[in-house]
Structure 1
Amino acid sequence: MTSIDWSGVRDRVAELADRPEGSVFGANSHHFLLEPPLSPDELTELEEQVGVQLPEEYRSFLLEVSSGGAGPAYGLFPLRRVDGRWRWEGDGADLTDPATLGEPFPYTEFFNPAEGLPDPPDEDDYASTEEFNAAEDAYWETHDKVAYDPRHTVGTIYLSHLGCAYRHLLVVSGPERGAMWADDTADDGGLKPLTDARGDRVGFARWYLDWLDKAHDQSHQPHTTPIGG
């Protein structure tokens, strides 16, 4: 297993804090601030609570760099102990279910939970607004039960919010363990692995360090459009 060299990452992020925040997408949320890393005892306690050892790239980041803060998009969801229990915090972090992290993530390729669902009702097919509203409510109730069934994302940790309910997650159990995936189900875009130009899976370290490189380049270019996650 290749170890990740995280040396200098905190210094690079601190340098970004001295640059204009508006040049990097999401920086106005995390302000390029990193929380302290976890101690070995804290990481052990976390992994005992969730019942799974975290993928090496992410766990080494937690130990050597930070427990959350500055990162892709609106930042890396921080880990915090609340009433003696560890949990991830942020917009959508509650989608992570610590009780199911040991269950294998069920997908290895793109999957859209909403595929195959019928189209939403057409108002022209109904005799009254009341009938249409009732049919529409019933449709979206069924749609959401299927599209947002938490069984689709067992064995994953949600790590970042990209806006408009798009999020990135890390697979911690199953064949895709260690890979970063995108959750675009908010727009019926499904779940898909993050890949590079060659089609190879992107892990946590690549995901984070690529963001850091892009943020550094973007922050040193005047009058540019903020980058995405």
Structure 2
Amino acid sequence: MTHTDWSDVRGRLARLAAHPGGDGVFGAPTHRWTLEPPLRAGELAELEGQLRVELPEEYRSFLLTAGRGGAGPAYGLFPLRRVDGRWAWEGDGADLTDRDTLHQPFPHTEAFNPADGLPEPPDEEDYDTVEAFNEAEDAYWELHDRTVYVPEHSIGLLYLCHLGCAAREALVVSGPARGQMWADDTADSAGFRPLLDSDGTPLGFARWYRRWLDEADAAVLG
């Protein structure tokens, strides 16, 4: 089921902002429980025209009726900015979204790790000198980065927030998992995985956002 009613969100955020315990929620001192203004319909049409794809409906409705970024999971939702006539998301890791290929299908429906199949990192005990070990280690990490950190793995992914330590979460815009939220844990050598609800079903944008808001309410307001 698609959820597109966001009429309660700003009021709930205002209550959290006014509560003395609000700053105790992870990321709140950064986003301050504030949403930026929504997009106008013409702005959204311009954005989607530039991307050559229609955004998943739950996120699309959020942009139109709630806000273009701000208060949200972790350090908040990457906000949209129009710079030199082109729309882009702004934030730590927002540039991982390849706007030129966002319309192309993200092919995965199950967790995958681009590092699978790589050899084990070199062990210093296997080398006669520090120099030889350092050379082998440098070669290994060059191979690792060439294998793991390539744009092809994130085609069709719209990065929406940063959790810290280079862990990020993204919305699948195109492909069989369209509308699902996924984690990018490549910085922790854990690859990509769909985010799941407590019953094991994939999280869409609305459930992902509202689950965070419900947890914040429970932590702050009781």
**TM bracket (short chain):** over 0.9
Pairs within 5 Å for 1:133-212: 133-212=134-213
Q: Is the 8 A contact 2:3 2:206 kept in 1?
A: no
Instruction: Point out where structure 1 has 5 or more consecutive residues left out of the alignment.
Output: 222-229
Equivalent residue, structure 2, for 1:123: 124
Q: Secondary structure at the match of 1:158?
A: strand
Worse-superposed segment, 3-12 or 27-36: 3-12
Residue 67 of structure 1 corresponds to which residue in structure 2? 68
Cα shift readout 1:158-190 (whole Å, capped 9, x = no counterpart): 001111111110000000000000111111111
Query: Contact between 1:102 and 1:173, CA under 8 Å: does it hold in 2?
Result: yes
Report the Cα distance in structure 1 between the residues aligned to 2:96 and 2:133, rounded to whole angstroms.
31
Instruction: Determine helix, strand or coil for the equivalent of 2:18.
Output: coil
* Separation in 1, partners of 2:213, 2:125: 51
Q: Contact (CA 8 Å) 1:106, 1:152: kept in 2 or not?
A: no
Secondary structure at the residue paired with 1:218?
helix
- 2:134, 2:98 → 1: CA distance? 33
Q: Could you say what secondary structure the match of 2:100 adopts? A: helix
Matches within 5 A, 1:22-171: 22-171=23-172
Asked if 1 retains the 8 angstrom alpha-carbon contact of 2:2 and 2:57, the reply is no
> What SS does the aligned partner of 1:81 have?
strand
Give the Cα separation in 2 of the matches to 1:172 and 1:2.
15
Over residues 63-102 of structure 1, what are the superposed CA-to-partner deviations in whole Å (9 max), with x where a residue is unaligned?
Answer: 0000000000110010111111100111111100000101
In structure 2, what residue type is equivalent to 1:161? H
- Shift, 1:197, TM fit: 2.2
Secondary structure of residue in 2 paired with 1:181? strand
Kindly indicate whether the alpha-carbon contact (under 8 Å) linking 2:2 and 2:58 is maintained by their aligned counterparts in 1. Answer: no
Partner of 1:227: none
How far has the Cα of 1:37 moved from its partner? 0.4
Given that 1:104 and 1:175 are in contact with CA atoms closer than 8 Å, whether structure 2 keeps it comes out as yes
- The aligned amino acid for 1:48 is G
Contact 2:160 2:171 in 1 (8 A): yes
Percent of counterpart pairs with the same letter?
Answer: 64
Who is 2:14 aligned against? 14
Deviation digits for residues 95-132 of structure 1, max 9, x if unmatched?
00000101100211010111111111111222221221
70-79 vs 10-19, which deviates more? 10-19
8 Å Cα contact 2:160-2:169 kept in structure 1: yes
C-alpha separation in 2, matches of 1:25 and 1:62: 23
TM-score (norm 2): 0.96
Please give the alpha-carbon distance, in whole angstroms, between the structure 2 residues aligned to 1:111 and 1:166.
15
Question: Which letter does structure 2 place at the counterpart of 1:74?
Answer: Y
Provide the rounded CA distance (Å) in 2 between the counterparts of 1:70 and 1:2. Answer: 21
Out of 8-17 and 89-98, give the one that drifted further: 8-17
Q: Distance in 1 between matches of 2:147 and 2:55?
A: 28
TM-score w.r.t. structure 1 length? 0.93
Distance 2:2 2:139 in 1: 51
CA 1:75 to 1:83, structure 2 compared with 1: closer, same or farther past 3 Å?
same
Q: Is the 8 A contact 1:30 1:74 kept in 2?
A: yes
